[in-house]
């Protein structure tokens, strides 16, 4: 048997996200150590991770060294790819100057797969051969379903491809456009492991073509949404029978994860709702006075300013892309 432990986004950082009430860096280290123990106890061959190792492209040196030390306690190889939070301006070309790149240099067991064009990594041999590939976050991710298949061939008819992707693969239609449909996405791989969406659709066996999709959700909870409060933090054990050519996934709960209401603070969310309500009232008030439509939508505001100032369409498009990127950051 070939076994992998697949762990969702980490978002390592040196301080607390706004809505966390416990000690986030300490919790992160505790969870990583639990992950390593689960991996060893289950005799896995490697730990797999879909990117967003760090919450930002650059963290302080003290933070970097502390996490490097914890990762160096892991006796197993860790294979990951690059998430949108790991790079500058959503530009995967900036990887070489990020904290993740430095972490990779400090942790010999950590392997960052940088491109879906990289040669498939040969993981195990039986009658079937197990190969690992990955697609990092990039400007192409989720455009026409891109990201969930390697861009190289396995060159082996008996390959079982395991593909990691940092993309918005979902089992439902979200309130934004850039995502891929779990039920339709095309792939050469057999097992597709995704992150980026922190809630995770879980484990899905696509009966039409026998593909296995897994997103257990992020290891660390960043927001205090209702879904995050009730979500069980878990990892997934992927088991591949390289003789029979079968594969499956099972969840393993993270025991050190506290109940959401103990570590996530809802009060700011309530404050935010109140602020939004006040804004709506305010805009209704202005509309009543001026009779004009109030520009509440950022796209409208940019279009309006661009038209008034006669900016070129290229500038407007770039501005909107940057803002979209920031929005995704908030959502992911």
Binding site for Mn ion (CB under 5 A): 9, 52, 332
Min. distance of Cβ 308 from Mn ion in angstroms? 37
- C-alpha–C-alpha distance, residues 212 and 163, integer Å: 10
How buried is 203 (Cβ within 10 angstroms: 0-12 exposed, 13-18 middle, 19+ buried)? middle
Give CA angle at 10 (131, 222), nearest 5°: 140
The least distance separating Mn ion from the CB of residue 148, rounded to whole angstroms, comes to 17
Q: How far is the CB of 115 from Mn ion (least distance, A)?
A: 20
Residues 6+ apart with CB under 8 A from 10: 28, 32, 49, 52, 53, 54, 218, 219, 220
List, as own/partner pairs, every contact residues 326-330 make where C-beta atoms lie below 8 angstroms and the sequence separation is at least 24, other chains included: 327/176, 328/84, 328/168, 328/176, 328/178, 329/84, 329/85
3-state class (DSSP) for residue 235? strand
In the complex with Mn ion, the residue whose CB is nearer, 49 or 116, is 49
Least CB distance to Mn ion at residue 325 (A) = 13
Closest CB to Mn ion among 9 and 34? 9
CB of 143 to Mn ion, least distance (A): 19
CB-wise, 91 or 239, nearer to Mn ion?
91
Rounded Cα–Cα distance for residues 77 and 158 (Å): 24
Q: Which is nearer to Mn ion, 9 or 242 (CB)?
A: 9
Please, which residue, 190 or 218, has the CB nearer to Mn ion? 218
Nearest to 98 by CA among 114, 121, 78: 114
DSSP code at position 84: G
Smallest separation, CB 98 to Mn ion (Å)? 15
């Amino acid at each position: 048997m070939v076994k992998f432990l697949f762990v969702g986004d980490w978002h390592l950082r040196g301080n607390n996200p706004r809505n966390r009430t416990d000690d986030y860096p300490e919790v992160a280290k505790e969870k990583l150590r639990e992950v390593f123990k689960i991996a060893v106890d289950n005799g896995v061959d490697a730990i797999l991770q879909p990117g967003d190792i760090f919450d930002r492209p650059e963290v302080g040196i003290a933070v970097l060294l502390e996490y490097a030390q914890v990762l160096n306690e892991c006796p197993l190889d860790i294979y990951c790819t690059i998430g949108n939070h790991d790079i500058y301006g959503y530009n995967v070309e900036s990887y070489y100057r990020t904290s993740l790149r430095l972490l990779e240099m400090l942790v010999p067991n950590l392997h960052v797969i940088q491109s879906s064009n990289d040669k498939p990594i040969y993981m195990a041999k039986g009658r079937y051969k197990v190969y690992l590939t990955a697609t990092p976050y990039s400007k192409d991710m989720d455009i026409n379903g891109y990201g969930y298949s390697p861009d190289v061939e396995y060159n082996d008819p008996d390959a079982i491809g395991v593909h990691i992707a940092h993309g918005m693969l979902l089992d439902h239609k979200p309130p934004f456009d850039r995502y891929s449909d779990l039920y339709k996405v095309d792939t050469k791989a057999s097992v597709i492991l995704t992150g980026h969406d922190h809630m995770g659709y879980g484990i899905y066996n696509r009966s039409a073509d026998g593909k296995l999709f897994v997103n257990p959700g992020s290891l660390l909870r960043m927001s205090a949404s209702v879904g995050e409060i009730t979500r069980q933090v878990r990892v997934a054990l992927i088991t591949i029978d390289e003789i029979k050519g079968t594969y499956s996934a099972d969840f393993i709960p993270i025991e050190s994860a506290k109940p959401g209401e103990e570590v996530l603070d809802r009060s700011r969310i309530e404050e935010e709702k109140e602020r939004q309500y006040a804004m709506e009232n305010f805009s209704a008030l202005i509309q009543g006075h001026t009779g004009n439509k109030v520009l509440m939508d950022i796209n409208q505001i940019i279009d309006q300013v661009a038209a008034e100032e006669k900016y070129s369409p290229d500038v407007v498009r770039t501005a909107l892309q940057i803002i979209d990127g920031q929005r995704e950051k908030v959502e992911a």
